[in-house]
Amino acid sequence: MNRDASLARSAIPSVSRVLEFPAVQQLMDVYGRNLVKQAVRSAQAELREVMKGDAQAAAAALREEAVIERVEQTLKRMNQPSMQRVFNLTGTILHTNLGRACLPQSAVSAMAAASGSCNVEYDLAAGQRGDRDAHLESWLTSLTGAEAATVVNNNAAAVMLVLNTLALGRQVPVSRGELVEIGGSFRMPDIITRAGCHMVEVGTTNRTHASDYEHAIGPQTALLLKVHRSNFEMEGFVSSVPESELAGLARNHDLPLAVDLGSGTLVDLERYGLPHEPTPGEIIAKGADLVTFSGDKLLGGPQAGIIVGRKALIEQLKLNPMKRALRLDKTTIAGLEAVLRLYADPDRLPEHLPTLKFLIRKEGDIRDLAERVKPALEAVLEASASVDVVPCRSQVGSGSFPTQTLPSTALAIRPHPGESGTDKALQRIALALRRLPLPVIGRIRDGVLYLDLRCLEDEAAFQDQLHELEIPGGGPP
């Protein structure tokens, strides 16, 4: 067998021969020489595998057209962008793995406009070097009532910068009830330590009193830190020190109070019928000296960490060399500016800001949408699963309203009972949906795949691609 196999292998055309095929020459015009060469090498490796199999298949695979087809498929695969638009039908509006906030159109246009040369750090009136923060600072101060503002890459960076600037080598008292883990790798104790500060835990898990901070404050104390319990709530025998009281305490000791708010929206969400979520403006009004929050959580903008507060402190932050390492990209600044501009007109905010639009989308509208798209999905899944319109609950995600959910509607996909096991069948359907040109991501629970339609905007694009659905493994008989 070995002699035959090596004979067969020698029948595989060499790279230089394949590159001379006229069809491959044409591929070079499209993809470039390097990529085509890589694809030919990878096709050869595949052919060597095929040669190990039966002779007939090997002979077919060696035909010129078959080799060209193989090279072209490889090139298509290689050229597929890694970052792709997807349909987030998970039921989590701000899904960190799916890019959190969906940007408004005005932000996308502003980002495109800033993608070439732009005045990111250039004062057009004076014709000289300007300040990167200038594009955002006046919006942020007018929307929060703070004296000054600066912006970095994300809220984790904002917290790092505050601690490293104001408390390097010194003590930071923080309540044991606020030593949170946000997910990913943001754990408050680690951030405090890595920022070069000494954490001093005060109070207990469930109760922390002003006197606990009072006892902890000493000559080495740099600032007081309060952290919003973004992703959990405590009930029962609990107490914590409100911002206003903590601010008074900090003032008495001549210390700044920094509050890490996490999700920071710039309007009172109650005006849209949603539960109250503290705003940076409220926390500033209660006496905090610095407030940090994210750009891509409830705010609905691009990934950024925003710091607002007292001018003298913000100036210190800007002088920290770390600020340079954490600075925002020009397109992010442009996108964030466009989002902040929308907040100037809260009446029309829901029309323009997708995050808010999704949050307040009416249950009835989502149900109507589900009824409209159901037949198309049902038609392509007919052989493998049933599709039903069912009520469900969406969550906000990314540490906002952790215990509250919103009534919504989902398409529930249940595989027909089959010999291969319904769990495997369900996984195959979920995979097929993820393999669509615009991947569809749902949520599996208790043997059912739910597509929560709260965040589905482009109904036509969703439906138009469904005919391409191919269930791997042929689906149940």
Ligand X SMILES: *Cc1c(COP(=O)(O)O)cnc(C)c1O
Of residues 156, 199, 249, 451, which one binds ligand X by CB under 6 A?
Answer: 156
Q: Kindly state the smallest distance separating residue 457's Cβ from ligand X, in Å.
A: 24
Closest to ligand X by CB, 278 vs 305, is 305
Closest to ligand X by CB, 262 vs 475, is 262
Amino acid at 176: R
Q: What is the DSSP code (8-state) at residue 171?
A: E
- Contact flag: residue 280 with ligand X (CB under 6 A): no
Closest to ligand X by CB, 71 vs 283, is 283
Of residues 256, 262, 309, 442, which one binds ligand X by CB under 6 A?
Answer: 262
Amino acid at 436: L
> Cβ(241)–Cβ(209) under 8 Å?
yes
Closest to ligand X by CB, 154 vs 171, is 154
- Contact flag: residue 355 with ligand X (CB under 6 A): no
Closest-CA residue to 151 (of 138, 164, 170): 138
Q: Kindly state the smallest distance separating residue 135's Cβ from ligand X, in Å.
A: 20
> Cβ(246)–Cβ(260) under 8 Å?
no
Distance CA 240, CA 210 (A): 8
- Contact flag: residue 227 with ligand X (CB under 6 A): yes
> In terms of C-beta density within 10 A (0-12 exposed, 13-18 middle, 19 or more buried), how is residue 62 classed?
middle
Q: Kindly state the smallest distance separating residue 297's Cβ from ligand X, in Å.
A: 6
For the record, the structure tokens of 263 come out as: 């999700």
Closest to ligand X by CB, 399 vs 442, is 399
- Contact flag: residue 332 with ligand X (CB under 6 A): no
Task: Report helix, strand or coil for 388.
Answer: strand
- The stretch near ligand X (CB under 6 A) out of 73-81, 82-90, 259-267, 383-391 is 259-267
> Cβ(208)–Cβ(239) under 8 Å?
yes
Closest to ligand X by CB, 72 vs 277, is 277
Of residues 70, 132, 135, 228, which one binds ligand X by CB under 6 A?
Answer: 228
Q: Kindly state the smallest distance separating residue 112's Cβ from ligand X, in Å.
A: 24
Who's near 461: CB < 8 A, 6+ residues apart?
438
- Contact flag: residue 263 with ligand X (CB under 6 A): yes
Closest to ligand X by CB, 178 vs 337, is 178
Phi/psi-derived region of residue 254, left when phi > 0, alpha when psi is between -120 and 50, beta in every other case: left
Question: Which residue intervals of 382-465 are DSSP H helices?
Answer: 422-434, 459-464
Closest to ligand X by CB, 295 vs 442, is 295
- With CB under 6 A, what is the number of residues at the site for ligand X? 15
Of residues 104, 399, 415, 442, which one binds ligand X by CB under 6 A?
Answer: 399
User: Token pair 């591929």 is at which residue?
Assistant: 27
Q: Kindly state the smallest distance separating residue 339's Cβ from ligand X, in Å.
A: 15
Who's near 213: CB < 8 A, 6+ residues apart?
173, 202, 224, 241, 246, 249
Distance CA 244, CA 218 (A): 21
Of residues 44, 294, 384, 409, which one binds ligand X by CB under 6 A?
Answer: 294
Closest-CA residue to 67 (of 29, 5, 11, 1): 11
- Contact flag: residue 155 with ligand X (CB under 6 A): yes
- Contact flag: residue 150 with ligand X (CB under 6 A): no
- Contact flag: residue 197 with ligand X (CB under 6 A): no
Of residues 230, 265, 394, 409, which one binds ligand X by CB under 6 A?
Answer: 230
> Cβ(442)–Cβ(92) under 8 Å?
no
Q: In the window 357-376, what residues touch ligand X (CB under 6 A)?
A: none
Q: In the window 157-186, what residues touch ligand X (CB under 6 A)?
A: 159, 182, 186
Of residues 264, 305, 309, 335, which one binds ligand X by CB under 6 A?
Answer: 305
Parallel/antiparallel/unpaired status of strands 440-441 and 87-88: parallel
Closest-CA residue to 406 (of 450, 358, 477, 465): 358
Distance CA 293, CA 323 (A): 16
Closest-CA residue to 434 (of 72, 11, 85): 85
User: Token pair 């962008």 is at which residue?
Assistant: 81
- The stretch near ligand X (CB under 6 A) out of 34-42, 148-156, 264-272, 324-332 is 148-156
Q: Kindly state the smallest distance separating residue 183's Cβ from ligand X, in Å.
A: 8
Which residues of this chain interact with ligand X, rule CB under 6 A?
154-156, 159, 182, 186, 227-228, 230, 260, 262-263, 294, 305, 399
